[in-house]
Structure 1
Amino acid sequence: MRVETVLLSLETAQYAGEGQDAVTLAGIAEAARRIEALGFDGATIPEAGHDPFLPAMIAAEHTERISIGTNVAIAFPRSPMVTAQIAWDLQHFSGGRFSLGLGTQVKGHNERRYATPWTGPPGPRLREYVLCMKAMFASFADPKTLTPFEGEYYRFTMLPPFFNPGPIAHSHVPIYLAAVNKYMARLTGELCDGLRLHPIGTFRYTKEVLMKEVAAGAAKGGRERSAID
């Protein structure tokens, strides 16, 4: 069993709107080293007040063993290429220890906080987002062969050599999805490497509802349930 903890966890004062301590590069590095020294298997970083990718880079630089992942980065404000590039670089710089956790957030946060258009149902749109990124990862790994993707929401049909980051040693970037509802759990089972659970989900709901949907998605994708974290 893997045991992870949160890097840059939220403070009660921040939830209450009373401010928070300023985050520093040295503080992130120290926290990451402490997590590794305490024996945790991994550290995950939320997108809550700060972008989750910069702390992941700092944590990768100052640790050697633990896995590092976003928990979660909000997908729709970023294009699939923007997310794929930073995930590819983090996987390379961390020596294969990075995992990309993605979530959709709700319509109000996308439109009113992120100033991002809500162009369709989040489930089908995230499905395309994941497939589009997988096509990009394949194109990064094999620069001579473009793996295109064309869907209703996303289209990837061009990658000139100048803009291709090129192959890396650990070319599989694990993708985890935040799941509260059945669709996202099924999508995780079908296409992704693991699930990021929401704090509001009870153990009973996770076991009796979400895990069954993960298994159904895995069956649809021709995969074993045991392959999904």
Structure 2
Amino acid sequence: MLKAQAGITLDDTYESAYGKRLSEVPENGETGVVFRRMKHATQFFQKVLKQYGVHESSHYILTRIEESSGKYTLLAVVYRPINTIEVIDKYDDKLRRFYSSVDRLFYDTFKKDVNGKPLDTVIDWAALSKKSIQTQKAQAILITLAANSVLNEKKTPEYWDIEKRWLAGKAREIVKQGSEDMNKSNWITSMEKVDNKESDCVKNPISLRNRIFLTF
């Protein structure tokens, strides 16, 4: 059963993922632990979900598709019901690929498996610059927001259209549009910081992408 009351806070993430309370780390949030691959990001993410009592926590993963210049990244929170997959290569539809959780490309999004059966359910997504998530605290905030999207039982089927545009070279357009959408949102005036004790992550299920833009 999920723990009652408030959603997952930044303090919860530090304790579950890094083994330290937020009060025990420097103000900049750095303890020397930074992920470079989504495999490792997912491991931290799943620790947080498991600690909070999320059912099937090991089936929630974080994925990433980098833009060709390497400046931007398309992140997604995904529910994947199996730990090994056989899929059509996203960049060459003549190739079949088999991936398990040890493979780098396992942490990409796949709408269907090789037989056309639905595979990934996208919980939430965000498009942002890579440099905005290079610090440990920024990564911890990302994990916290992603975990609360799971708690809120969000679904974002529009992600697949976004991904098509991203792969077609529209990354900068998507990042810019996301920023503009956030600026128009009246959530800005009512949002609390993610590390507040009374986090609004559960009370107000704003999208991960808008929270990311606001945070960074």
TM-score of the superposed pair, with normalisation by structure 1? 0.27
Larger Rg belongs to: 1
Q: Which has the higher contact order (CA 8 A, sep 6+)?
A: 2
TM-score of the superposed pair, with normalisation by structure 2? 0.28
